[in-house]
């Protein structure tokens, strides 16, 4: 529980003296004089829009439904739009672009009379007339509630059916879209107008570039590139070590974005081959010392073995003199075996593989 939540709880206890308080998300529910009270807690900057959403029954729901149909979102935090790497393709990466939390500014953009909202509505008909007054209103936005979730929600709202009856009484004929009328094009036009109206074009372009770069990065580089080259449980380890060659995450991302897929796959293949060469050097350390047993790490050498006359140097390995031999930790470092073995010359950055 945060300090603000604790303070709110204590405030409600001191003010109402409830028997019990239940806290769920941003709602505090408690009893007071045999009634259930719900107190909705929100941020100060969201207060005005929260008031809109909770006033006049479903005012916020009606406005939110219209905004959703024109490619925007409206809720207690204000007005925003979702940005997708591919426009209107929600299966791609997405981000939210905040437009405004100023109620008057939002209503002016939508074509609503803010002062009428402030003055209030005398009756349900005045309220419905105000909802319909937006320049973006279309009857089909309220007729086409195809999703099961939406149908179930509106069935519980009598005011929604009253609004449909009001629209039927208007007897207005809405022109059907011809073959050239495209819903996505209309939404794109509205979204562009919103970007200009709220001065968010530069921020939109920046967010869109980030999403596009993220999409391009995933298409060029992912665990699939390692899937057939290394054991599956080691994919993440190799991906991390491969990336370290290029610096930090930002430097690696730029390298991927500036190279084609073939170049990246060739670089991965080279990394895997170098890694295997390095691993093979380690695997041959006992053999290179002509040890009769491959269990050197257990110090079970069976007999005296003389290291070959190479640049490694002469070194007699005794049967039990562990201190004189490094058999127990033959890692091709002290004896430089790794550097002297034929075919083991490589440009592998050993430090890179120490983490593997």
Per-residue pLDDT tens for 152-185?
566 567 888 889 889 988 866 555 554 445 478 8
In the prediction, which pLDDT does 198 show? 97
Whole-angstrom Cα distance, residue 88 to residue 99?
A: 18
Domain extent listing, the chain = 3-41, 45-196, 221-284+342-356, 292-340
Whole-angstrom Cα distance, residue 176 to residue 178?
A: 6
pLDDT digits (tens, 9 = 90+) for 269-302: 999 988 888 766 655 554 554 444 444 444 444 4
pLDDT lower than 70: segments of the chain: 1, 87-93, 144-156, 171-182, 279-356
pTM (2 d.p.): 0.66
In the prediction, which pLDDT does 9 show? 87
Query: What does the block give as tokens for 299?
Result: 């110090």
Query: What does the block give as tokens for 218?
Result: 């995933």
In the prediction, which pLDDT does 349 show? 41
Task: Please report, for residues 65, 92, 225, 260, 271, the alpha-carbon distance to residue 266 in angstroms, rounded to integers and kept in the order given.
Answer: 51, 27, 10, 10, 9
Query: What does the block give as tokens for 247?
Result: 């610096």
In the prediction, which pLDDT does 290 show? 47
Task: Please report, for residues 3, 88, 91, 203, the alpha-carbon distance to residue 98 in angstroms, rounded to integers and kept in the order given.
Answer: 27, 17, 21, 10
193: left (phi over 0), alpha (psi -120 to 50) or beta: alpha
Q: What is the DSSP letter of 232?
A: G
In the prediction, which pLDDT does 107 show? 97
In the prediction, which pLDDT does 150 show? 58
Residue 4: is it exposed, middle or buried by C-beta count within 10 angstroms (0-12/13-18/19+)?
A: exposed
In the prediction, which pLDDT does 152 show? 58
């Amino acid at each position: 529980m945060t300090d603000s939540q604790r303070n709110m709880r204590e405030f409600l206890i001191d003010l109402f003296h409830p028997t019990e308080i239940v806290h769920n998300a941003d709602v505090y529910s408690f009893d007071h004089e045999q009634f259930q009270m719900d107190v909705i807690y929100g941020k100060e900057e969201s207060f005005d829009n929260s008031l809109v959403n909770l006033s006049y029954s479903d005012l916020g729901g009606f406005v939110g439904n219209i905004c959703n149909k024109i490619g925007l979102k409206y809720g207690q935090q204000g007005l925003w739009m979702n940005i997708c790497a591919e426009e209107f393709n929600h299966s791609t990466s997405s981000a939210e672009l905040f437009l405004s939390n100023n109620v008057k500014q939002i209503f002016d953009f939508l074509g609503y009379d803010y002062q009428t909202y402030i003055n209030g509505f005398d009756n349900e008909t005045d309220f419905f007339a105000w909802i319909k007054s937006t320049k973006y209103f279309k009857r089909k936005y309220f007729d086409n509630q195809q999703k099961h979730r939406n149908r179930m929600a509106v069935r519980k709202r009598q005011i929604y059916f009253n609004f449909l009856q009001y629209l039927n009484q208007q007897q207005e004929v809405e022109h059907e879209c011809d073959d050239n009328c495209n819903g996505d094009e209309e939404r794109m036009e509205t979204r562009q107008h919103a970007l200009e109206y709220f001065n968010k074009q530069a921020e939109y372009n920046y967010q869109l570039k980030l999403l596009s770069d993220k999409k391009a990065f995933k298409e060029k580089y992912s665990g699939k590139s390692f899937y057939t080259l290394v054991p599956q449980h080691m994919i993440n380890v190799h991906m991390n070590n491969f990336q370290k060659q290029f610096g930090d995450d930002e430097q690696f991302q730029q390298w991927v974005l500036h190279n084609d897929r073939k170049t990246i796959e060739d670089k991965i293949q080279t990394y895997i081959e170098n890694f295997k060469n390095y691993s093979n050097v380690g695997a041959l350390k006992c053999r290179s010392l002509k040890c009769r047993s491959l269990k050197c790490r257990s110090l079970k050498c069976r007999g005296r073995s003389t290291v070959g006359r190479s640049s490694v140097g002469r070194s007699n390995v005794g049967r039990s003199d562990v201190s004189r031999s490094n058999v127990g930790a033959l890692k091709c470092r002290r004896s430089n075996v790794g550097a002297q073995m034929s075919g083991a010359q490589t440009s592998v950055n050993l430090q890179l593989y120490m983490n593997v």
